[in-house]
Amino acid sequence: MAPNDIVALLGEVGAWGVNLHDNDLVPIDATAAERDSIVRSFKKACEANGMVVPMATVSLFFHPVFRDGAFTANDPEVRSYAVQKTMRAMDIGAELGAKIFVLWGGREGVETDACRPAQDAIKRLREAVNYLCQYSIDRGYGMKFALEAKPNEPRSDIYMSTTGNYLGFIPTLDHPEMVGVNPEMAHEHMAGLNFMHAVAQAWEAGKLFHIDLNDQMPGRYDQDLRFGSANIKSSFWLVKFLEDVRYGGPRHFDAHAYRTEDYEGVKDFARGCMRTYLMLKEKACRWNQDSEIQQILAELGSEGKAPKVGKYSREGASGLLSYVFDKGKILQKRLPYERLDQLTVDLLLGAR
């Protein structure tokens, strides 16, 4: 589909924003004049459809020149080209008003670890991200970067395989305050991990700059299923988390319709993503207001007389060390998690 048609379709189904890879909009070998004309026309289409462009990104994986990676490729020329291509994509993003720039290193990985020392790949990645931060500062773009992890596919092993790895990488950068993460549900599920836990860690560290919502069964190829269509309960915990902490960023549905669909089916799919999000949001609200659920939670957090952990002090430590804990008594406190979970299932199934 042409970019302007995508904008029209999204407008029709009621979406708020749109994001595109650089080359979904501007062909990789377009002249400067072609590029300008396309961007101008797209900007108008967005305005006409009341659509914002909150985020921009760059394809560093589609063209075969990136067959061995982009920022981490063994060929220094590929690394330079990848940075140039990203700078140009940032220019387009700035022009369209994007304040978040997503970096997904689709081919930053290996089939055989013979090809490069893994620590070199990390150093190269750091060099590129540092460079791009400085470029944003230099141009006054005010952009922030959101790094997106994935464990594998299309490479056998991708460096920075989970959101956690990026959270560990960011503090080693020159401008850690400019860089956060873009967790994708399907990517974390591919490794069988609890997506909401990764999102919560990113958020708690002030690093949840963007999020990609879709769905996926664990341990499979990248499925990008309609949000909420495979794992209803995990999707619920995620929506509940985002709403409870009042996450202010866009809810980006980075999914695609089944390959069996036609144009109408793609609209069904897009509407389904948003509809299921809203249904789960409403359930999260009811969960928070359910008196039986809230009573169980209140009892779980009740405090006893034992010293608290809190902030360390020599006196506190001495008191804690000498306190005699009654393990038998602790074990008598109920943890009615089966009941709590069944109430959640009842609520999800509309039986409560």
Binding residues for a second copy restricted to 5-34, rule: CB under 8 A: none
Q: In this structure, are strands 212-213 and 179-181 parallel, antiparallel, or unpaired?
A: unpaired
- Provide the minimum distance between the beta carbon of 37 and a second copy in the complex, in angstroms, as a whole number: 20
Name which position in 8, 30, 38, 122 contacts a second copy (CB under 8 A).
122
Q: Give how far Cα 34 sits from Cα of 29, 39, 83, 221, Å.
A: 10, 9, 21, 36
**Which residue's CB is nearer to a second copy, number 15 or number 128?**
128
Site for a second copy in 321-350 (CB under 8 A): 321, 323, 325, 327, 330-331, 333-346, 348-350
Please indicate whether residue 24 is annotated as part of the active site. Answer: yes
Name which position in 27, 177, 265, 295 contacts a second copy (CB under 8 A).
265
Write out the two tokens for 284.
Answer: 């999260």
- Provide the minimum distance between the beta carbon of 52 and a second copy in the complex, in angstroms, as a whole number: 26
- Provide the minimum distance between the beta carbon of 48 and a second copy in the complex, in angstroms, as a whole number: 27
Name which position in 31, 32, 219, 315 contacts a second copy (CB under 8 A).
219
**Site for a second copy contains 225 (CB under 8 A):** yes
Stretch that binds a second copy, among 19-27, 33-41, 53-61, 117-125 (CB under 8 A): 117-125
Stretch that binds a second copy, among 13-21, 30-38, 45-53, 271-279 (CB under 8 A): 271-279
Site for a second copy in 48-107 (CB under 8 A): 63-65, 67-68, 74-81, 83-84, 87-88
- Provide the minimum distance between the beta carbon of 248 and a second copy in the complex, in angstroms, as a whole number: 16
The three-class DSSP label of residue 109 is strand
Write out the two tokens for 287.
Answer: 């969960």
Q: Specify which residues 109 forms β-bridges with.
A: 158
**Which residue's CB is nearer to a second copy, number 50 or number 192?**
192
DSSP 8-class letter at 307: P
**Site for a second copy contains 274 (CB under 8 A):** no
Task: Give the count of beta carbons closer than 10 Å to the beta carbon of residue 148.
Answer: 22
Site for a second copy in 137-196 (CB under 8 A): 138, 151-154, 156-157, 159-172, 190-194, 196
Q: Per the omega criterion (within 30 degrees of 0), is the bond before 176 cis?
A: no
The three-class DSSP label of residue 225 is strand
Q: Which one from 5, 24, 68, 224 is the annotated catalytic residue?
A: 24
CA angle 292, 296, 298 (to 5 degrees): 115
Q: Specify which residues 157 forms β-bridges with.
A: 110
- Provide the minimum distance between the beta carbon of 16 and a second copy in the complex, in angstroms, as a whole number: 20
Name which position in 37, 134, 294, 295 contacts a second copy (CB under 8 A).
134
Buried b (16+ CB within 10 A) or exposed e, 101-140: bbbbbbbbbbeeeeebeeeebbebbbebbbebbebbeeee
Per the CB < 8 A criterion, the answer to whether 118 and 112 are in contact is no
Among the listed residues 161, 249, 253, the one whose alpha carbon sits nearest the alpha carbon of residue 198: 161
Sequence-distant (6+) residues with CB within 8 A of 307 are 316, 319, 320, 323
φ and ψ of 206, to 5 deg: 70, 25
Beta strands in 7-154 (DSSP E): 55-57, 100-104, 109-110, 144-148
How many residues at the interface with a second copy, by CB under 8 A? 145
Site for a second copy in 292-311 (CB under 8 A): 293, 300-301, 303-304, 306-311
**Which residue's CB is nearer to a second copy, number 1 or number 335?**
335
- Provide the minimum distance between the beta carbon of 184 and a second copy in the complex, in angstroms, as a whole number: 15
Catalytic residues: 21, 24
